[in-house]
Structure 1
Amino acid sequence: MANIHDIARLSGFSTATVSRVINQQHYVAPSTRAAIQAVIDQLDYVPSTMAQNLSAGKTRTIGVILPHTDHPYFEQLVTGILNAAMAGNYHAVILPSRYDQSLEQDYLEDLRRHAYDGLIFTSHGLGLRTIAKYQKYGPIVVCENPGKIKLAAAYADRTPAYQEAFQWMGSQGYSKIALLLSRPYAQSATSKLTINSYVDVFGKRPSDEMIVYHMRTFEDGYQAGARLVNEHPDFILGNGDDITAGLRQYFVDHHLPIPPLMGQENQLSSRLLQMSTIDHHVTAIGAAALKLALRDDIAQTVIQSDLILR
């Protein structure tokens, strides 16, 4: 494959002059530019994008660490990231992790080797302190409140909306409330916020039999319906509208009374079913995360969640 030295040799000009023509810089005589361009065309030379990026010190690529794709939260988050990346003429590369800490460590090492200009952790298995140590190699953004750890972050302030939701449930007389969650309390910031908000309002932790974990899809919700039907909850809060719609479908298919329901993320399913929901504005969070990943400073963007009663 032809390179800049081949062009210089065949054209009779220096590599510096050839470089100015390739990069469309000024200070090259028209006749010189034409002669060099003729050799470029003859050799069918195309400059290496990777080499140009390395020369500029930028890859124009942001790595997006994603545990899985089959949860509405991550679908909407990635949509926001990709939309913002396209608008800024950047590439967003999806890096699947499955919460595997060794994989996440590899991605951090890739940042250290300048494979990406920055990383966005949509969620993580590694501890935040470990992640924060790699900021000296490039911007790192998390999609949760990092607390006292100094990390760039874009996230929803969920607690007021969760508390408002539980207060509303209590005002309606509901006391046997079931929760659908993605991961156990110790592993998930969202699960902690949900359960802690429940405790703040009701003064006690929900019983274990009223919490169903590993909820990510419509089918997961359907299976949760089969489990909860014998617990007789008087209200169910799901961790996604589509997940909650799946639970609802179990009751419909088995000709059972549908308990009052609330989902999250304000998806089409909740609007069609006229189901209450909590909107965390996840697409906006994704867009904010991408913008933070392009900055050199450590900043945070916090978006307020909204309770929508239908």
Structure 2
Amino acid sequence: MATIHDVATKAGVSVTTVSRVLNNRGYISEKTRKKVFDIMAELNYQPNEIARSLLRKQSNVIGLIIPMVSHPFFSQLANDVEYYAYQAGFKVMLCNSQHDPVKEREYIDMLKRNRVDGIIMGSHTLEVEEYRHLHSPIVTIDRQIDNEIPSVSSDNYRGGELAAELLIMKGCRKIAHICGNQELDMLSNLRTDAFYEIMRKYGVQPITLQTDMNMFAHMEYERIIDKLLEEHPDTDGIFTTSDIIATFAIKGCMRIGKKVPQDVRIIGYDDVNVSSWMLPELTTIRQPIGEMGRLAVELIRRQLEGEPFEVENVLPVQLVERSTT
């Protein structure tokens, strides 16, 4: 296997020059740069990335921990994080915690051992103190840890307001709200807070159903919705805090012969791709998922470069009205 010394000897340059070409450091003429790359290709030289990262004290790898890669929101987020990370010169190491605190802790330990440049946290089952002592640039998605670690979220409160206002405007009065477990310390809980506030303003007492601690258990969604429609058959409006729950609400209505939106109006949250692919197309609150991914990568970069950054980053949401309202 060819070494950096072999490349330098055949190219007629110093090892330092080859190193500068590899790391894009210092002035190197285009003629010399091309010659070094041509020799590397000819010798099939593969740089030792681990050794290079130790030398530079930078791996150009970002860790991304999410609770479930198959969930449409997190799969879109992971795709966008990878895209923007690659544009910024980083690779992404994806960790799927499946909402398991033991697994999440093991992934954090693995990322530390691999000397990743930073960690984007989309899974939050561990106690806050475990994040504070990572000693690496961190960005959290939809959760604030303290006043030094930056977070990225959509305007969850405004999203809850928009959903509530639309259902009221459409004439709904027997309204149900299906949300994640409020014991989890998530910024997404603000969707529910805002929804309640608007309901109180209009004198409406909503029916509230929470999912269990495993917020991604699809069979749980089906059970909750069937129970809602059985115990409250006059429900005429439903706001769910994710598009996936909303799709189960549509299916639940169809199973018992209720028409959407004629009998029940339904609003989701996220605007994942499936929202516009299904029939009827889902009315939802759009999170700017791509911008959330871009900003998370940018915040890692800013921390690495010692540049100033905002700790709290709240991005605007948008009501996207489709066929279910």
The counterpart of 1:263, out of the listed 268, 290, 294, is 268
Choose the corresponding residue for 1:283, options 281, 290, 293.
290
2:157 aligned partner = 159
Structure with the greater alpha carbon radius of gyration: 1
Q: 1:251 to 1:172 in 2, by over 3 A?
A: closer
Structure 2 residue 196 is the aligned partner of structure 1 residue 192? no
Deviation string, structure 1 residues 37-90 (Cα, Å, up to 9, x no partner)? 99x899865331221222122111000011112322212211221111122231
Secondary structure (helix, strand or coil) at the match of 1:105 reads helix
Contact preservation (8 Å) 2:122, 2:141: yes
Q: CA deviation at 1:167?
A: 3.0
Q: Is the 8 A contact 1:218 1:244 kept in 2?
A: no
Q: Report what 2:125 is aligned to.
A: 125
Q: 1:252 to 1:26 in 2, by over 3 A?
A: closer
AA aligned to 1:47 is P
Change (3 A) 1:44 1:197: closer
CA distance in 1, matches of 2:240, 2:52: 48
Question: How far apart are the structure 1 equivalents of 2:115 and 2:190?
Answer: 34
Residues 195 and 44 (structure 1 numbering): CA distance in 2 closer, same or farther, change over 3 Å?
closer
Corresponding letter in the other structure for 2:320: I
CA distance in 1, matches of 2:230, 2:44: 71
C-alpha offsets along residues 204-251 of structure 1, whole Å, 9 cap, x if unaligned?
A: 98555x444555487665554433220332211123334322321233
Of 174, 181, 191, which residue of structure 2 is paired with 1:176? 174
8 Å CA contact 1:225–1:250 kept in 2: the answer is yes
The answer to whether the 8 Å contact 1:72/1:240 transfers is: no
TM-score normalised over the length of structure 2: 0.75
Deviation, 1:141, is 0.1
Aligned equivalents of 2:219, 2:290: Cα separation in 1: 23
> Match for 2:317: what amino acid?
S
8 Å CA contact 1:150–1:298 kept in 2: the answer is no
Structure 2 residue runs without a partner (length 5+): none
The 1-side partners of 2:143 and 2:159 are apart by 15
State the identity %: 23
1:147-192, CA deviations, whole angstroms, 9 ceiling, x for partnerless residues?
Answer: 75321122111102212321332344433322333x4111151552
Which string of whole-angstrom CA distances, capped at 9 and with x for unpartnered residues, describes residues 6-38 of structure 1? 889xx7xxxx933534654889xx9xxx9xx99
3-state SS of 2:231 partner: coil
Aligned residues: 299
Question: Quick one: distance in 2 between partners of 1:191 and 1:176?
Answer: 23
Which range moves more in the overlay, 83-92 or 94-103?
Answer: 94-103
Instruction: Go from structure 1 to structure 2 and tell me whether the alpha carbon gap of 1:22 and 1:69 turns closer, same or farther (over 3 Å shift).
Output: closer
Tell me, yes or no, if the aligned pair for 1:198 and 1:206 is still in contact at 8 Å: no
Q: Which moved more, 1:56-65 or 1:192-201?
A: 192-201
The alignment partner of 1:255 has SS state of coil
**CA shift in 2, pair 1:285/1:118, >3 Å:** same
SS in 1 for 2:285: strand
What's the TM-score, normalizing by structure 1? Answer: 0.78
Aligned-partner Cα distance in 2 for 1:102–1:49: 29
Q: Distance in 2 between matches of 1:231 and 1:159?
A: 29
Distance 1:26 1:223 in 2: 65
Taking the aligned partners of 1:64 and 1:97, their CA distance within structure 2 comes to 10
Gaps of 5+ in 1: none
- Give the AA of the match of 2:173: S
CA RMSD, Structure 1 to Structure 2 (Å): 3.8
